[in-house]
Each structure stands twice: as structure tokens, then as C-alpha cells.
Homo-oligomer: A and B are copies of this chain.
């Protein structure tokens, strides 16, 4: 469905609701030359950069946070195979907000005075513009809105028409889900439309935005999904170790991504006893 060369808003934030299963499927389908737009993603960006499906990233952050640095991304950048156009988290979130609002830019008060404003990888003078505010005379930074071909968002629950609920933090997914030309929603659970319509305050993404829905369990493994499952710390550390060198990364790729037919086979390989131990406990949500 996603053609080579497409631009993708990539949902989830930090360890939360990362669309890992979708990244792995893009790799299996050997997609190429994608551009990824997100604030900060981690294992998913490592997979896409490492497997060569995406060559351009407009992002604020890539690392596995507390676990460590992003080795795949580091190697690909050093090799010149990946270009990163650097923004801050607020800048990216505002670029998605601008895209969702269908205005060409949004004003922010970050980036100014630093190399974030002075240097650009490939956008040149379309990276941002610092202007004097016509009302106050103050300097303000305009960041260009993003309206990518697809938005990929991972949520907890969806109904058969596409209405989606998100539990816990939303990160930049409200704006991100509305900025893409098409929206693909990945959900852990299918619920009935009547359930959604009895609590409309809880709907974070109304069906009118949604083009495609995929329902699968453990979409974020080894990351977490609030109220559904915790991260798999041991697997995460294993993943991180395997990315350290190109050879071990290729081993991981062959075994856990190319070596399985689909997400279900991946989950079988990880093992259901292990997965079930990750299930969230009340009232904590992890």
C-alpha cells in the first residue's frame, strides 16, 4: 500500500505505542527511499534505518533513551546512506499541527540562535525561517507544516468504522494522525461501535480521518502499549546489543524480520509465555 519514495508520519513517542510491527512489515516488503517524519522514535527508526527502507528522516531524536545510543542510525549516517534533517520535538509537533490545520507554517520560539536554525541537510531555506513578528517586532521562528502521504498511528482500541481511542499520553499523535493524506490506524483491540459512541469524549481519532485499520496484538513489542503490555526490557537490551555491529544487526534482521512470515510468526518466535508475562497490571497500566 505504501509506495517506494513515500513520506510517512510516524506515530508513538519514546517507548510508548511504537508501530514496530509496521516497520518490520515495511522491511519484509523491501520498501525503499521512504521519508520518515516524527518527533522521537527509537527501535522502529533503528529498524528502518538499519534495513535501508528509509533514507531521509525529519526528526528530533533517535536513541533507545535509557538503554543507549542508536547504532544503526549512527552507522548509516556515517556511511552517507541516511540524511537527517534535525528539528526539536516542539518544532516537529508544531509542523504536524500546521499540517493538520492545513496552514503552511507554524511559529515557535525554539531553534533560534543555534545550528538547528543555521544548518540544513537537504531542505535548504525550506527548513525554517526566522522573521520579525509584524505585531510585536520580536523574532520568531516559522517551521514549515508537514502533510505526508501517510500517517501511521498505533492506538489501543478501534471500532469497525475506524473511531480510535488512545489511553495514556498522546505524544504528537493527535496532530500527526490528522496531517497525513491517508491515515493507517494500527490497533491492539477491536471494539464495537456502540461502545465508542457511548463514550464519545474518549475518541481521540474520529473515523472520518481513517483510511485503513489493522488490528493485531503486541504491535509495539519490544516497546510498550499503555494498559496492554509493558516493554520487554531483556529483549530490548538484546535488540540494542545486536545493533552494535553491522554483522550482528544483519543476523537480527535475518532472524527476526526476514526470517518470519508476518507479525504472528514474529510473536510465535518471541514466544507467547514471554509475551503474556508483559501484560499490563491494574491500576498501573504496565
- Which A residues form the contact surface with B (CB < 8 A)? 98, 101-109, 126, 129, 131, 133-136, 138, 140, 142, 144, 167-168, 198, 201-202, 283
CB distance from A148 to the nearest CB of B (A): 16
Q: By the criterion CB–CB under 8 Å, are B138 and A104 in contact?
A: yes
Report how far A108 CA is from B97 CA in the complex, Å: 12
Task: Report if A104-B135 is in contact (Cβ < 8 Å); known contacts: A198-B283, A283-B198.
Answer: yes
Task: Report if A107-B104 is in contact (Cβ < 8 Å); known contacts: A126-B135, A134-B131.
Answer: yes
Q: By the criterion CB–CB under 8 Å, are A134 and B140 in contact?
A: no
Question: Which residue of the partner chain, among B102, B131, B142, B167, contacts A109 with CB atoms under 8 Å?
Answer: B102
Q: By the criterion CB–CB under 8 Å, are A105 and B133 in contact?
A: yes
Q: By the criterion CB–CB under 8 Å, are A140 and B107 in contact?
A: no
Q: By the criterion CB–CB under 8 Å, are A144 and B140 in contact?
A: no
Complex contacts, A167 vs chain B, CB 8 Å: 201
Q: By the criterion CB–CB under 8 Å, are A105 and B283 in contact?
A: no
CB distance from A36 to the nearest CB of B (A): 20
Q: By the criterion CB–CB under 8 Å, are B134 and A129 in contact?
A: yes
Report how far A168 CA is from B283 CA in the complex, Å: 25
Complex contacts, A202 vs chain B, CB 8 Å: 201
Q: Across the interface, name the chain B residue whose C-beta is closest to A108.
A: B103
Q: By the criterion CB–CB under 8 Å, are B104 and A105 in contact?
A: no
Task: Report if A106-B104 is in contact (Cβ < 8 Å); known contacts: A129-B135, A201-B168.
Answer: no
Q: By the criterion CB–CB under 8 Å, are A134 and B109 in contact?
A: no
CB distance from A88 to the nearest CB of B (A): 14
Report how far A235 CA is from B138 CA in the complex, Å: 49
Report how far A168 CA is from B199 CA in the complex, Å: 9
Complex contacts, A106 vs chain B, CB 8 Å: 106-107
Complex contacts, A102 vs chain B, CB 8 Å: 109
Question: Which residue of the partner chain, among B98, B129, B134, B198, contacts A105 with CB atoms under 8 Å?
Answer: B134
Complex contacts, A105 vs chain B, CB 8 Å: 107, 133-135, 140
Q: Across the interface, name the chain B residue whose C-beta is closest to A227.
A: B201
